[in-house]
Amino acid sequence: MRRLLRRAARWGAALALIVLGLVLSIPGIPGPGLLLALVGVFVLMPESRWLRKKYVALARRYPRLFRPIEQRRARSRRARRAGRRA
């Protein structure tokens, strides 16, 4: 049950970020619209196989652009593993 609630919360937060980002990306409305939409996509990525496949394809095509993201993800994974062992 807890897993289902966490998954629903992740979907809700991601969709809210994507919608808010798209609204803020309309010309004339100030704010970091596309950045918020991108954050929403990254929040949703663990839940969607299609998004993961697209991310991998883009990361292979533009490795210099995705290198900082990959380094941060690797640090996060190492920290989670270290936390589980302790």
Helix (H) or strand (E) holding 37: helix 33-44
Residue range 62-85, pLDDT digits in tens:
989 888 888 888 898 899 888 776
13/55 Cα distance (integer angstroms): 20
81/58 Cα distance (integer angstroms): 27
Residue range 41-54, pLDDT digits in tens:
888 888 889 988 99
Average pLDDT rounded to a whole number, residues 55-61: 90
